[in-house]
């Protein structure tokens, strides 16, 4: 749950991405499966009900009797453009069970596995085995899906070993411009322009595509063959409520475009457009499925969520 000063709304990057994928792509057969863990509490009950209402499978949702449903306290900047997260430790999602996650992977056989670095904050310290959350390792070893890494560098949970492992497992990596500079420094890529740093990152880790978001200035996509695409900036005068979840909306549309075979430039433009629409909401998820209808119609995605 994202806890704003005036209200509590559904949140968390994987849930946001899954919700948008289902809302936009249900009519063309996109069925995301969220692997997570929630507490047996009021927040957990609310999340399950919201997932059912959105048509999201709950097969991958584990229940935890000992730890609370994840919550993040959000402080907004005065202009609504920025925000700060205070993420409590020892939340239910820190304890996702590996064997249960593996069974969900075996039954769903996904094409893409969307994952981040924040969910790996409870990973063991460096040992002889690979560094990552056990459930994430188990999933990757079981399903062999292509990895979509969405960085969430939230201090004090940033760890170099987890970051390095994650970059090595990703076909696509998404980050913002500040994160690109920080990752380049942490990985010893030297100093250079953002594009050059992006090329070094792709080469160093065998990544296929790098997505870098720049807020209102747009976003750019760098591919391993050297091709680079950049969106236009957001037009002035757009009413921004808050930017929470905008990046998750961007990721969702990019993944949707990959499943539908859209051209790279078109995926990028549509992802940026959708992220801008999320900025006009309080929080990351709309209150009604009607929010998705203009995009479904414009992008010819059939009838939306299949009943």
Helix (H) or strand (E) holding 162: helix 160-168
Query: What's 120's DSSP letter?
Result: G
Question: Does position 187 have pLDDT exceeding 80, yes or no?
Answer: yes
58-94 pLDDT, tens digit per residue, is: 999 999 999 999 998 887 766 555 667 788 889 999 9
Q: How confident is the model at residue 100 (pLDDT cuts 50, 70, 90)?
A: very high
Per-residue model confidence (pLDDT) at position 2: 83
Task: Using alpha carbons, select from 11, 108, 91 the residue that is nearest to residue 57.
Answer: 108
Per-residue model confidence (pLDDT) at position 123: 57
- As to burial, measured by CB atoms within 10 angstroms (0-12 exposed, 13-18 middle, 19+ buried), residue 161 is middle
Question: Does position 129 have pLDDT exceeding 70, yes or no?
Answer: no
- Domain 2-298 matching CATH 3.40.50.1370: the answer reads no
* Residues of the chain above pLDDT 70, percent: 92
Asked if residue 127 has a cis previous peptide bond (ω within 30° of 0), the answer is no
Cα–Cα dist 214/205, whole Å: 23
Compute the average pLDDT of residues 134-157.
90
Question: Does position 195 have pLDDT exceeding 50, yes or no?
Answer: yes
Question: Does position 131 have pLDDT exceeding 90, yes or no?
Answer: no
- Domain residue ranges in the chain: 2-298
To the nearest 10 degrees (0 to 180), the angle between helices 194-205 and 177-186 is 50
Q: Which residues contact 273 (CB under 8 A, 6 or more apart)?
A: none
Per-residue model confidence (pLDDT) at position 216: 82
Question: Does position 127 have pLDDT exceeding 70, yes or no?
Answer: no
Per-residue model confidence (pLDDT) at position 191: 86
Cα–Cα dist 149/168, whole Å: 10
Q: What is the mean pLDDT of the chain?
A: 89
Per-residue model confidence (pLDDT) at position 231: 92
- Specify whether the CB–CB gap between 78 and 24 falls below 8 A: no
CA angle (55, 252, 267) in 5-degree steps = 130
Long-range contacts of 185-190 (CB under 8 A, 24+ apart): 186/160, 187/163
Q: How confident is the model at residue 207 (pLDDT cuts 50, 70, 90)?
A: very high
Task: Using alpha carbons, select from 147, 119, 167, 150 the residue that is nearest to residue 249.
Answer: 150
Task: Using alpha carbons, select from 168, 169, 208, 170 the residue that is nearest to residue 187.
Answer: 168
Cα–Cα dist 68/73, whole Å: 14
Per-residue model confidence (pLDDT) at position 84: 73
């Amino acid at each position: 749950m994202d806890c704003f000063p005036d209200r509590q709304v559904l949140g968390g990057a994987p849930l946001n991405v899954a919700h948008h994928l289902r809302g936009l792509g249900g009519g063309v057969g996109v069925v995301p499966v969220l692997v997570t863990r929630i507490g047996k509490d009021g927040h957990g009950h609310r999340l399950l009900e919201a997932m059912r209402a959105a048509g999201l499978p709950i097969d991958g949702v584990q229940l935890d009797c000992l730890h609370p449903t994840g919550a993040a306290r959000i402080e907004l900047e005065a202009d609504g453009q920025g925000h700060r997260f205070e993420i409590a430790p020892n939340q239910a999602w820190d304890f996702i069970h590996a064997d249960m996650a593996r069974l969900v992977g075996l039954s769903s056989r996904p094409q893409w596995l969307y994952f981040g670095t924040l969910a790996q904050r409870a990973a063991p310290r460096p040992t002889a085995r690979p560094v990552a959350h056990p459930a994430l390792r188990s999933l990757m070893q079981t399903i062999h899906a292509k990895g979509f890494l969405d960085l969430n560098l939230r201090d004090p949970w940033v760890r170099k070993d987890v970051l390095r492992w994650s970059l090595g497992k990703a076909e696509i990596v998404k980050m913002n411009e500040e994160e690109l500079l920080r990752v380049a420094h942490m990985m010893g890529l030297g100093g250079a322009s953002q594009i050059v740093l992006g090329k070094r990152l792709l080469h160093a880790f065998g990544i296929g595509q790098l997505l870098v978001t720049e807020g209102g200035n747009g976003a750019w996509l760098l591919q391993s063959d050297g091709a680079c695409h950049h969106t236009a900036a957001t037009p002035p005068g757009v009413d921004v409520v808050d930017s929470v979840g905008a990046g998750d909306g961007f990721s969702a549309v990019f993944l949707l475009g990959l499943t539908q075979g859209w051209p790279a430039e078109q995926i990028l433009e549509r992802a940026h457009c959708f992220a801008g629409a999320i900025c006009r909401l309080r929080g990351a998820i709309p209150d009604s499925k009607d929010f998705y209808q203009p995009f479904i119609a414009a992008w010819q995605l059939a009838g939306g969520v299949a009943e």
